[in-house]
Amino acid sequence: MRHSRWTRAKQESQEIARPPPDAGRMTEIVMIEGVSLNLGAPMANEAEWIGQREVLKQLLACWIVVDDKDLPLTPRLVGVPGIGKTALAMSAASMRDQELYVFQCTADTRPEDLLVTPVLSGAGKIAYHASPLVTAMIRGAVCVLDEGNRMNEKSWASLAPLFDQRRYVESIVAGISIPAHPDFRCAVTMNQDDSTYEIPDYILSRLQPTLPLGFPNRQDELAILQYHLPFAEPEMLAMTVEFLQRSHELKLDFSARDGLNLLRFAIKRLAQNKEHPIAKDIAWREALEHCLGEDAVDLEALAQRKSQDLGGNALPLGLGDFFFDPDDPLHPDFDGDLDDDS
Ligand SMILES: Nc1ncnc2c1ncn2[C@@H]1O[C@H](COP(=O)(O)OP(=O)(O)OP(=O)(O)O)[C@@H](O)[C@H]1O
Ligand SMILES: [Mg+2]
């Protein structure tokens, strides 16, 4: 189930990453140590953050510089998929009136993808293209390294000097070192799921502080859904908010994105046949099943199963478990007489 939710997350982030209106503008080229670099274009960013002021203020505080000798911090934004990590970073960038670049990290991201990529241009020449991260470094913009823990250690290693007092990167491919503009700011979003890497401690120590995102309260949840789907009917919004709030109470991981997707599908189903519309609650329930799976229909049963699974995996260990295999006759709890019936 986790994997399919991650796939949904990917689809949503592709939706966010639409090209900006001026994507067709002339490519900007800068010279660094005699090498010309083609810069990327910023993202269109009208993201608005709703509710949860504290975490927004914490993120903005990380990016303040209080003295000539001070440096900005690069925080980790953590939380379940779809809770709003990318949206938070995007809206913080827009509040600071800075351009925004988002680099989507994946398991296949190579160090050169993060920095500078050589591209064959006309007449067999090589053109060097700066990544969104390097473009943000040069233009003094904000870069969000999205889903940073999908990237392996080798790629992270190339960023070590960027996230300490040195604030530069070295592109082996272009043979240059690139200093970050004083206005350059960065945040890294991270998910907890099966398809992530352990980031080494020397990198984690450069990505501080950790800012965990929680679920919104009822009022904010409604406002988030309304903001993204202003055409949704109050009844449909109410059913979705009720569902999400109940799932938060039961410590299940359904997020704003899940609510938005299921509402979108239900609304489309209702709009499909204006002459013989299906009942709203039937369309909503169908959307719930198809977006979040049959399990989501009975949240209480799902929560119970989840807590049983957790309990089953968390059997307390005795001292003997550290030294002996459970079947070892030397294990203090070994009972060779046990038969199947007992
Ligand atoms: N507080 C909020 N204000 C406005 N929009 C929000 C808020 N929280 C979530 N959203 C919306 O919910 C959707 C999912 O958010 P987002 O993509 O930022 O999640 P995420 O935590 O980055 O997920 P993932 O880990 O899968 O990348 C987006 O459409 C986002 O705009
Ligand atoms: Mg994200």
The model's pLDDT over 16-47, given as tens digits with 9 standing for 90+, comes to 444 444 444 567 999 999 999 999 999 999 88
Ligand nearest to the CA of 88: 1
Confidence category of residue 106, pLDDT binned at 50, 70, 90? very high
Q: Which of 14, 46, 83, 261 to mutate to test the pocket of ligand 1 (most atoms within 8 A of CB)?
A: 83
CA 89 / ligand 1 centre spacing (Å): 10
- Regarding the beta carbon of 91 and ligand 1, being less than 6 Å apart is answered no
**For ligand 1, atom 6, which residue shows the shortest CA distance?**
84
Contact assessment for residue 99 and residue 139, using Cβ atoms and an 8 Å cutoff: yes
First to last CA, the chain: 35
Cα-to-chain-centroid distance, residue 300: 27
Tokens (6 digits) for 269: 């189903």
Residue of the nearest CA to atom 7 in ligand 1?
84
Domain 13-212 superfamily per CATH: P-loop containing nucleotide triphosphate hydrolases (3.40.50.300)
Ligand 2 mean position, distance from CA 340 (Å):
49
Cβ neighbours of residue 306 closer than 8 Å, sequence gap 6 or more: 251, 252
Residue 150 per-residue DSSP state:
G
Residue in 87, 78, 102, 96 with CA at minimum distance from that of residue 17: 102
CB 44 within 8 A of CB 93: no
**How many CA atoms, within 13 angstroms, populate the side-chain half-sphere of residue 117?**
14
- Tens-place pLDDT, residues 40-98: 999 999 889 999 999 999 999 999 999 999 999 999 999 999 999 999 999 999 999 99
Render pLDDT for 150-184 as a digit per residue (tens, 0 to 9).
Answer: 999 999 999 999 999 999 999 999 999 999 999 99
As a whole number, mean pLDDT of residues 212-220 equals 96
Measuring CA to CA, how many Å separate 55 from each of 107, 141, 213, 214, 297?
28, 21, 7, 9, 31
Q: Measured in angstroms, how far is the CA atom of residue 178 from the centroid of ligand 1?
A: 32
Q: Distance, CA 263 to ligand 1 centroid (Å)?
A: 15
Per-domain residue ranges of the chain: 13-212, 218-311
Can you tell me the distance from the alpha carbon of 96 to that of 185, in angstroms, rounded to the nearest whole number? 10
Q: Which atom of ligand 1 is nearest to the CA of 88?
A: 18
- Output the pLDDT for position 278: 83
Q: What is the pTM of this model?
A: 0.82
Residues making up the chain, counted from first to last: 342
* Atom in ligand 1 nearest the alpha carbon of residue 49: 3
- 142 ligand 1 Cβ < 6 A: no
- Decide if pLDDT at 272 tops 60: yes
| Distance (Å) from CA 87 to ligand 2 centroid | 7
Residue at token pair 């070994």 = 334
Is the peptide bond between 75 and the residue preceding it cis, with omega within 30 degrees of 0?
A: no
d(CA 225, CA 232): 8
